[in-house]
Amino acid sequence: MSRQEFGPSTLSRSELLAIFDSDPCQAEEKYIALYRSLTRYFEWNRKSDPQDMAQEVLKRGFSRLQEGKKITAENPAAYFFGIARNVVREGWKARQPEQLADVDILKPPSSFYNLDPAEQRVFLSECLGKLPNEEFEMLMAYVQGEGEAWSRKAGLQPGALRLRVHRIRRRLEELASLRARGSGRKES
């Protein structure tokens, strides 16, 4: 049996890239530039996965070349953009403008112990007020991204700082759960 009885011969990667340029390095650069252009094309068309769609276009184009199709356009990129245009049409669904209701959109209720934001701030202030000054300053430095500088100033290793912040967080969570159950610590 001859090769032609099995269908067209498969082209190698270098043969496929040769449609862009005879120089392999230039061909690869043009292929990458085409991929980026296709990605931008799909981004411009507001597609959610432009990289995947660009790969799909390249796969379809190279599959057609494997099947024996010839590119008749002077610029091979035009051939692939024709495929891209068809891919957009296949999945194109015009967005219908959504009308917003005249009713004000309500914020969902807070899930933090059924407290509104003002009550949450008061509760947080109460909890933070129960911390010693050094722990409060350490926690604030850590939250503001200045924990490393604070730990150097205090002579602590970064791991020790993280451990202390974790312990403070656990104490604050315990305070919150005590309040949620309706019982509070009696201060002496």
**What single string gives the DSSP state of each residue in the chain?**
--GGGG-SPPPPHHHHHTTT-SSHHHHHHHHHHHHHHHHHHHHHTT-S-HHHHHHHHHHHHHHHHHTT----SSSHHHHHHHHHHHHHHHH--PPPPPPPPSSPPPPPPP-STT--HHHHHHHHHHHHHTS-HHHHHHHHHHHTT-HHHHHHHHT--HHHHHHHHHHHHHHHHHHHHHHHTT--PPP-
Angle value at C-alpha 25, between 20 and 30, nearest 5 degrees:
40
Q: What is the pLDDT of residues 46-63, one digit of tens each?
A: 888 888 889 999 899 888
Q: What is the pTM of this model?
A: 0.44
Instruction: Determine how many CB atoms are found less than 10 A away from the CB of residue 66.
Output: 15
Of residues 8 and 38, more confidently modeled: 38
Q: What is the pLDDT of residues 54-108, one digit of tens each?
A: 999 989 988 888 888 888 778 888 989 998 998 888 875 444 556 666 555 555 5
The single-letter code of the amino acid at 34 is L
User: Which residues have CB under 8 Å from 78's CB, separation 6+?
Assistant: none
The tokens 């403008």 sit on which residue? 97
The two three-digit tokens of residue 98, written as one number: 């959504």
Q: What is the pLDDT of residues 130-184, one digit of tens each?
A: 888 998 889 888 888 888 888 899 898 888 989 999 998 888 888 777 776 764 4
pLDDT range class, residue 10, cuts 50, 70, 90? confident
